[in-house]
Chains A and B, each alone.
Chain A
């Protein structure tokens, strides 16, 4: 019984990690749609405030890819006495993509909520 419960906990943990990784791109675009962020601030914000519990370093390759895809852009500006910081913002292409992602997410969330409601009855 304990072994079974530990297996299912591991399975849920793996599923959660995959789920979070899957929505990471959406969450990054969403964060940058509100205001600009520098790397450390964006990453710690996602992992702490948005409860996206993935290793912090895994977000940087994604930022690099989004930047190469022209969805986000960065500007180097002086930090607090240290090395220059990369301040990320959304590009018009990124804004347009986000505008189409939001209704998709809402539809998906609503349909899962609907199924969940039925399951809980």
Chain B
């Protein structure tokens, strides 16, 4: 329990706020600890100007309200952290978390985050179609129709067309997806 205040109820409120913050900063490592110190210092400075150790729960609640909820404060830092890790380890789960926090954090990077999110969804769809080939062989692939037009992916009117790649569709689609995934993830560094 914190010893910053005389009133146990104020101490309890402080502890509850920082317990939530501590839970959220775990992925941030040293940066998280630095942010925690900054926030703690900010609150103490603000309360010190008013009542210091004698702060009441109401005063602390007011200060915490102005400071913001831990998740709202940490979203940009969590987004940075996950995107930075994802750009290095190419882990789709880490990248998804990074984009999720980027979109929720708002600000100037939302548009770029949205474009990347759509790009990754496109890749996921392409991979799903490739993996669907064994189940819907006659509908999945690259088709050429008698009039010269072509279609690729999951094609409903496939009977009229000639399938060009056969089972090669799976490795070709997966390779193209992997290549786009690699290039996009390299491009994530520009978003950071």
Which residues of A are interface residues toward B (Cβ below 8 A)?
A: 17-18, 21-22, 24-25, 39-40, 43-44, 47, 54-58, 60-65, 68, 79, 82-83, 85-86
Complex Cα distance A44/B67, Å?
Answer: 10
A56:B66 contact, CB within 8 angstroms: yes
With A55-B68, A55-B73 in contact, is A63–B48 under 8 Å at CB?
no
Across the A-B interface, give the 3 residue pairs with the lowest CB-CB distance, nearest first: A55-B68, A57-B73, A21-B107
Which residues of B are interface residues toward A (Cβ below 8 A)?
A: 31, 34-35, 38-39, 41-42, 44-46, 48, 66-70, 72-74, 76-77, 80, 106-108, 110
Q: B48 — which chain A residues lie within 8 A by C-beta?
A: 82
CB < 8 Å neighbour of B42 from A17, A25, A54, A57: A57
Complex Cα distance A21/B38, Å?
Answer: 20
Complex Cα distance A82/B42, Å?
Answer: 11
Q: What are 11 A-B contacts defined by CB distance under 8 Å? A: A18-B107, A22-B107, A24-B107, A39-B42, A40-B41, A40-B45, A47-B66, A54-B68, A57-B42, A57-B68, A62-B76
Give chain B nearest CB distance to A88 CB in angstroms.
Answer: 11
Q: B67 — which chain A residues lie within 8 A by C-beta?
A: 55-57
Give chain A nearest CB distance to B79 CB in angstroms.
Answer: 9
